[in-house]
Amino acid sequence: MSRYFVPFQALRRQPTIVVDSTGLGAALTLAHWRGAATPVALRDDTSAGSALRALHAPATPGLQARAVTANHFDVDGFVGVWALLNPELALRHEPLLRLVATLGDFREIDWHHPLADHALQLVCWLNAEERARFYEPFGAPARRRREDEASAEKFAWFLPRFAELLENPKAARAAWEPAFAHIKQAVAAVQGPATTVRRYPAIGLTVVQTPEPVPYYALFGPSIGTDMVLSLYDGQRYEFEYKYTTWIDLESRPTLPRLPLGALADRLNELEKTARRWTHEGITDTGPLLRLSGRALSKPQRYADPDQRPIFASSIVPAELEQQVVAFFEAAYAGIEPKKYWSWAEVKAPGSGGMLRTEN
């Protein structure tokens, strides 16, 4: 049975499989979004992983639908859609596709994996071509249609071209090589003697102390298995971030819920002696940042790599900054047990900032 892609607006015109999205009337949902109606047996860390699981379970109700859609374009969603449209090739390359989806969405990968470089090449190609031919993530010009409409153009361009790159990435080397080389250089720096990594497993925090800001694909590599990253750069420049792993329903391991960052920002502002203020996004943002603020960052700037945005010097010394962050989360998470499948209602419940308790 052959499947085909349809724009998201066509969801209700025929039985349709919805990938990395949710939509009323879907024949089957394959998404890791919090609360998505993905069948229990098909749940996975990534939406592409759920699509690959579905290919191993052809009797899954709804999988017989021929139309496939998504309401946005990103690496994970694209890989999931492409896999459903190219099942034999997808299953042949399943380990690689899983790495691509994870690197694209969570920005983390084990660089010792034999397929890591191939995965990075594919992600760099997808990112480079998306920016060159369309627009950067979250950066649609105001005159453009909504992403659920405009993304159909991206799928139409990428879907027929991905198979060649999957089997022969050198075919488009000129497109992916600049970013690939830059990221590999950053990976080497993070793995080098000038970088120190400290992990606090009880609160799910990784601290990466490295001289200069680096791309996320390098920065988040040491953070696998944790959900928060504190970056300490030379010159007393810092950023804290909740990873995307706590925005979605992670299947592989339990997590702690996100907590509002206002109290931590207030404490850092008490200590801060510069004219700048510590600011942050809300917990429902895909990747809330806590940082010294100049002019507020746009969503595209926050989504972009740390080495592509200004990071300002603080008066707080690194050891004190780290101690304050660790102490805040140790106190806030005291008595909260990690679990899978936090609902947004639980995460946003009154008093959840250190008061939410669960026995699950």
Could you read off the pLDDT of 38-66 as tens digits, one per residue? 999 999 999 999 999 999 999 999 999 99
pLDDT at 163: 97
103-115: average pLDDT:
97
Q: What is the mean pLDDT of the chain?
A: 93
Question: In the numeric block, which tokens belong to residue 144?
Answer: 């453009």
pLDDT exceeds cutoff 80 at 145: no
Q: Residue 284 above 70 pLDDT?
A: yes
Task: Taking residues 136-154, report their average pLDDT.
Answer: 75
pLDDT at residue number 1: 77
Averaged pLDDT, 71-80? 96
What's the pLDDT at 135?
A: 78
pLDDT digits (tens, 9 = 90+) for 165-217: 999 999 999 999 999 999 999 999 999 999 999 999 999 999 999 999 999 99
Work out the average pLDDT over 276-296.
91
Residue 358 pLDDT greater than 80, yes or no: no
Whether 265 and 290 have beta carbons less than 8 Å apart is answered as yes
CB under 8 Å, gap of 24 or more: what pairs does 54-63 form? 54/28, 54/30, 54/84, 55/83, 55/84, 55/87, 55/90, 55/91, 56/91, 60/28, 61/28, 62/15, 62/17, 62/26, 62/27, 62/28, 63/17, 63/28
pLDDT category of residue 96 using cuts at 50, 70 and 90: very high
pLDDT for 350 equals: 60
The reported pLDDT for the residue numbered 359 is 33
> Can you give the pLDDT at residue 144?
56
Is the Cα torsion angle 207, 198, 341, 328 positive or negative in sign? negative
What's the average model confidence in pLDDT over 277-296? 91
Return contacts of 206-211, CB within 8 angstroms, 24+ apart.
206/230, 207/232, 207/322, 208/232, 209/233, 209/318
pLDDT in tens, 26-40: 999 999 999 999 999
Q: Residue 149, exposed/middle/buried by CB under 10 A (0-12, 13-18, 19+)?
A: middle
pLDDT, one tens digit per residue, over 113-138 is 999 999 999 999 999 999 999 877 76
Distances (CA, A) of 28 to 22, 32, 98: 10, 13, 20
Closest CA to 308 of 318, 300, 316: 300
Q: What are phi and psi of 341, to 5 degrees?
A: 65, 50
Can you give the pLDDT at residue 296? 75
- What are the pLDDT digits (tens) for 302-354? 888 999 999 999 999 999 999 999 999 999 999 999 999 999 999 988 655 43
CA distance 218 to 69: 31
The pLDDT value given to residue 148: 81
pTM as predicted = 0.93
Residues 231-265: tens digit of each pLDDT: 999 999 999 999 999 999 999 999 999 999 999 99
Q: What pLDDT does 147 receive?
A: 80
Give dist(CA 212, CA 235) in Å, integer. Answer: 9
What pLDDT score does 239 carry? 97
Q: Which of 138, 349, 135, 315 is nearest to 238 (CA)?
A: 315
* Segment among 19-23, 139-143, 255-259, 331-335 with least mean pLDDT: 139-143
Q: 141 or 100: whose pLDDT is higher?
A: 100
